[in-house]
Amino acid sequence: MFRSRARGRAGGRSKRLVRPDAKGLQLIQWETNERALFERQCRIILAFFLLVLAGYVLRLWYLQVLNGAHFREISESNRIRITAVRAPRGLIFDRNGTPLVENRPAYHLMLVREDIKAPEEVERILEELARICRRPLRELLDALEANKDKRPFEPIRLLEDLDRDALARLEARRLRLPGVYIEVEPKRSYRWNGTAAHLIGYLGEISEDELKDEAFRGYQAGEFIGKGGVEKTFEALLHGEAGWRQVEVDALGRQIRSLDEKLPIPGRNVWLTIDLDVQRTAEECLRDQIGAIVAVDPRTGEVLAMASSPAYDQEKFVRGMSTDEWKALINDISHPLLNRAIASSYPPGSTHKPFVALAALEEGVVDPTTEIFCPGWMQLGTRKFRCWRDWGHGHMNLYHAVVQSCDVYFYQVGLKLGVDTIAKYVKMFGFGQKTGIDLPGERSGLVPTREWKKTTKGIGWQKGETLAIAIGQGFNLVTPLQAAMAYAALANGGVLMEPRIVTRIEASSTADDHFLPSASPRRKLPVHRKNLDLISKALEGVVGHEHGTAHRIHVKGIRIAGKTGTAQVVRMPEGVSRKLLEKVVKDMHRDHAWFVGYAPADNPEIVVSVLVEHGGHGSSAAAPLAQKVILSYLGKRGLAGSVEGNDQKETVAEGPWAGD
């Protein structure tokens, strides 16, 4: 009975209805409203999308059905074309603002295959183009074949750099040549027929490997880049930034209108330190010879001239060379592409003696009054080492030993110093290391030491080799630029400068003018000024003293200091005099001729280094060339007026050439 009542009570509770309170009623009402709002928004969005879709359908019906024929005709006759617009390359000037390298417009013949309706028409068009341009048909067919992998709408360059007569004939027949158009782009123009070719450099087409280089990001196949000289070193500044042009053209490839464009940013102009007149004088001096001339300002390190002979015609690279022409150029035994001023090194000969003399003074091995007797030779063991003057110089102090270039004096001094001490001092002046010039391909030369020979040759140093080093022979190797910078340090009181070839980088649309520092000293040399003055006095005596080896280039009113040098190419057999050897050797075995000097000696403004390969004596082959370059520069500065009107006999002393 008890259980029955319990079940009854429980059953009664489960059937009871619970009436919602006020809050519950509000919640139910809110949910109902939200659902209605959501459904209304969905209907609006759906209606919007249906409306947009209907608009698209109507537009397609209008274009494809109602006006389909009309628009098909337009699409067949007119096209949108986007073409790259190459930036004009920056110009190059000399220090006085004379243009050395400019740009000119070049006209290229282009073809777009997509604009030719019938494929068989291509051959007819090429045949007619060959007749109009007066070029072999094979040349155009080869260009087409080389670009066969291009897409039909991509332009193909058939011919480059058309002349104006060909352009006029093309224009007259334009309507018969669908898909043909003329592309205009700036092209390099080297104004002075190869002047300063090695310094300026040349352009060449970018290679596949270069396109992968991070330095050429953004470059396109077919672009030209600097391959040598300033053109290469300053490529990033000279190149500029390409633009583009979007145009509408008709079926014949004729432009109807311009739609949009991005103008190219021209490359930045570069001002060099060289003086065009001095440069041309230096190159004229080397005409028909092999060698190099470098002129620098000892106060700033600025390169006033840099000539290397033989040179090459940069315009050939602009026009393009055949394979045979390129092979002939690179296989030429005179190596015209080689910049001998920085990339060839030679024994310095007697131009090295002033540095050995300075080392002897600094080390206390000799003083200005120390005399050494020269009988014309020196005995070392069983060997005789000869002086260039067979009959000797007699008693020589340091001044006269430099002036007359006495070999025996420097043999004796060299033995006392030793090769490592000599190396220590010549390295101070920058020998054996690159100068840091902003040109590719510089060599460091060679300053030998005992350790160097042991490491590279596997044998010890010999005393006889020290004698050769003391007079600038043996393992010594020097570039003409190194010699110029070392003598600049003698001329300016002991400051080794870094050579500079650029003085100013002109503004572009995105950057201001940038003037480079006027002087770039590498280091102040730890030598005594009194010893430098003594060496400078001796170098002035080389030209000014009646017994100086370069006395024949003495000029009234101009104090020139310098040193001649003769670098042996063929080793002199023991006991054979230099004069006898010279009579039997052929031209390619003659000694190299050196002269390095500066002027005015009391306040130097120019240093000139001259190297003539197989020229013989420095006094006869190199010194007169240096004189011409010095007078060319000082004449422009108003410092050579006193020599005007003097004839050759008055300005250049008479007498036989000195032997060194």
Q: Tens digit of pLDDT for each residue in 270-298? A: 999 999 999 999 999 999 999 999 999 99
Per the prediction, the chain carries an average pLDDT of 86
Least confident of 4-8, 222-226, 320-324, 652-656: 652-656
Name the residue with tokens 């220090």: 95
Residue 539 to residue 351: CA distance in whole angstroms = 10
Is 582's pLDDT higher than 60?
no
- Is 350 a catalytic site residue? yes
Question: What's the whole-number mean pLDDT along residues 102-121?
Answer: 87
pLDDT band at 147 (very low <50, low <70, confident <90, very high): confident
Query: Using one digit for the tens of pLDDT, what is the confidence trace for 605-636?
Result: 999 999 999 999 999 999 999 999 999 999 98
What is the predicted pLDDT for the residue at 436? 94
Highest mean pLDDT among 120-124, 151-155, 331-335: 331-335
Q: What is the CATH number of domain 81-272?
A: 3.90.1310.10
Enumerate helices (H) and strands (E) in the chain, giving the number of each: 25, 23
Q: What is the CATH number of domain 277-324+339-507+522-651?
A: 3.40.710.10
Q: What backbone torsions phi and psi does residue 182 show, to the nearest 5 degrees?
A: -105, 130
| Closest by CA position to 300, among listed 62, 454, 492 | 492
Query: Using one digit for the tens of pLDDT, what is the confidence trace for 453-475?
Result: 999 999 999 999 999 999 999 99
Least confident of 78-87, 268-277, 432-441: 78-87
Is 546's pLDDT higher than 70?
yes
Active-site residue, selected from the candidate residues 350, 508, 609, 620: 350
Question: What's the whole-number mean pLDDT along residues 540-554?
Answer: 96
Residue 429 to residue 209: CA distance in whole angstroms = 39
| Closest by CA position to 599, among listed 565, 658, 640 | 640
Assessment of whether the complete model's pTM goes beyond 0.85:
no
Q: Where are the alpha helices (DSSP H) in 147-186?
A: 164-172
Q: Where are the domains of the chain?
A: 28-66, 81-272, 277-324+339-507+522-651
- Tell me whether domains 81-272 and 277-324+339-507+522-651 share a fold: no
Give me 292's structure tokens: 């190099």
